């Protein structure tokens, strides 16, 4: 094991109003007094979300009643705004329409929260549309679904933008062999955090692609499923500081690429790039074998560190051999077969109670301020449940 980390800058400890400041955190940008929520739906003051957005001011909340809102596309220009679907999740169906040739919703700037919506069916002329196009500022997406879009969420490349995704579903990329559709595509922004979410049924593109300086991917079910044909499950093409903890990451038998997790494939790496993977369960259903992890050492700075602890690789393939040629710390990683899990075909990726691997995880260090100990685990159908600290941990994504 090799360590040489003193020259690397550490970003994970920065708060939202730290060195990479989101516009909504600027000094003097205090929220105005709140107004009653703007209501959208049958019998409400606004029939369509786009109508309410034209009347909203900074600090407003827009509440959308259940229903299907076909062709209801818009640009969000406010600096502070909450959009909330009420009750049964409202569906924003593209229906051949799009805002600015980009998306169902375009988030221009500011601090925006979007909760409890379904985004479905985006198609645009340049074939690069999205349910949400996030351009700048701070966007939180919570309890949403993105189905059958060219991209579920697509970001621009502003270096101070931050994206947080919680408890959401991304699925069913369009069946277009001549196109490269990703369930989520994050550009060169400051940070993306994805937790408690599910990704499945990709096609030619990736389930998650992130070029962010900091990518924190924790407690998700990133499993393409029997109908999926995605390329990478997680693609981090420009490196960056990547923290991948407590996920199920599974490629299908029809995957178009042998690699599940790719780090640094396209070069142009961020300064201080480093990969931290702990307590993941990586599953390969591809009979020809897999690279569970591929670190492209020839395209990353010399000395880029990789930390691999307490991961399970399930099925035929290579895991730690994918990081040869540079500093690597690893321990508590085990290769097993699918029958050694409870029922992975029914999405139960836990170790059986009588598994000999129970309690075999190695103690985890805190590296460069990054705590690799899991604090939660994914729970079906969407979301997480907390984990209490314990004396003995098991490898993989599940402790219970």
Alpha-carbon distance of 203 to 227, in angstroms, equals 9
- Is residue 365 scored above 90 in pLDDT? no
- Is residue 322 scored above 50 in pLDDT? yes
Q: Is residue 143 included in any domain, yes or no?
A: yes
What CATH number does residue 293 fall under?
Answer: 2.160.20
Q: Is residue 394 included in any domain, yes or no?
A: no
For residue 202, the enclosing domain spans 44-386
Q: What is the pLDDT of residue 33?
A: 56
Q: What is the pTM of this model?
A: 0.90
Q: Is residue 22 included in any domain, yes or no?
A: no
Q: Give strand pairing partners of 50.
A: none
Looking only at the bridges linking them, the beta strands covering 138-142 and 38-40 are: unpaired
Q: Is residue 138 included in any domain, yes or no?
A: yes
Q: Is residue 309 included in any domain, yes or no?
A: yes
Alpha-carbon distance of 164 to 280, in angstroms, equals 20
- The number of domains in the chain is 1
pLDDT in tens, 123-143: 999 999 999 999 999 999 999
Alpha-carbon distance of 212 to 336, in angstroms, equals 32
3-state secondary structure of 165: strand
Q: For the chain, how big is the Rg over CA atoms in Å?
A: 21
Q: What is the pLDDT of residue 30?
A: 45
Q: Is residue 207 included in any domain, yes or no?
A: yes
pLDDT in tens, 10-36: 333 333 333 333 334 433 344 455 789
Q: Is residue 2 included in any domain, yes or no?
A: no
**How many CB atoms lie under 10 A from the CB of residue 25?**
17
Q: Is residue 6 included in any domain, yes or no?
A: no
């Amino acid at each position: 094991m090799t360590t040489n980390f003193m020259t690397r800058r550490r970003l994970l400890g920065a708060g939202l109003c730290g060195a990479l400041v989101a516009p909504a955190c600027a000094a003097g940008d205090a929220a105005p007094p709140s107004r009653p929520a703007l209501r959208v739906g049958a019998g409400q003051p606004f029939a369509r979300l786009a109508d309410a957005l034209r009347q909203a001011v900074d600090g407003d909340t827009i509440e959308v009643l259940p229903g299907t809102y076909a062709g209801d596309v818009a640009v969000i220009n406010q600096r502070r705004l909450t959009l909330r679907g009420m009750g049964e999740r409202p569906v924003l169906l593209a229906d051949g329409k799009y805002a600015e040739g980009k998306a169902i919703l375009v988030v221009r700037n500011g601090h925006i929260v979007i909760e409890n919506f379904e985004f479905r069916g985006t198609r645009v002329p340049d074939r690069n549309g999205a349910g949400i196009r996030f351009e700048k500022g701070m966007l939180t997406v919570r309890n949403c679904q993105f189905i059958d879009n060219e991209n579920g969420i697509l970001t621009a490349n502003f270096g101070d933008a931050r994206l947080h995704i919680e408890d959401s579903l991304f699925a069913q990329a369009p069946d277009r062999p001549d196109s490269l559709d990703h369930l989520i595509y994050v550009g060169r922004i400051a940070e993306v955090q994805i937790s408690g979410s599910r990704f499945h049924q990709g096609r030619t593109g990736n389930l998650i692609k992130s070029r962010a300086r900091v990518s924190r991917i924790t407690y998700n079910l990133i499993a393409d499923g029997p109908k999926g044909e995605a390329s990478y499950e997680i693609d981090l093409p420009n490196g960056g500081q990547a923290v991948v903890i407590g996920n199920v990451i599974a490629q299908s038998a029809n995957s178009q690429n042998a690699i599940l997790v790719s780090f640094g494939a396209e070069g142009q790496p961020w300064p201080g790039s480093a990969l931290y993977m702990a307590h993941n369960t990586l599953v390969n259903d591809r009979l020809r074998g897999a690279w569970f992890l591929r670190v492209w050492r020839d395209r990353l700075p010399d000395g880029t560190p990789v930390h691999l602890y307490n991961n399970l690789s399930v099925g035929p393939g290579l895991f730690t051999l994918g990081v040869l040629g540079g500093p690597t710390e690893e321990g508590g990683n085990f290769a097993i077969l699918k029958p050694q899990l409870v029922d992975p075909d029914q999405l139960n990726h836990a170790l059986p109670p009588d598994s000999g691997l129970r309690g075999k995880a190695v103690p985890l260090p805190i590296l460069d301020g990054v705590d690799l100990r899991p604090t939660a685990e994914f729970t079906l159908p969407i979301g997480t449940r907390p984990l209490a600290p314990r004396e003995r941990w098991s490898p993989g994504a599940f402790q219970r």
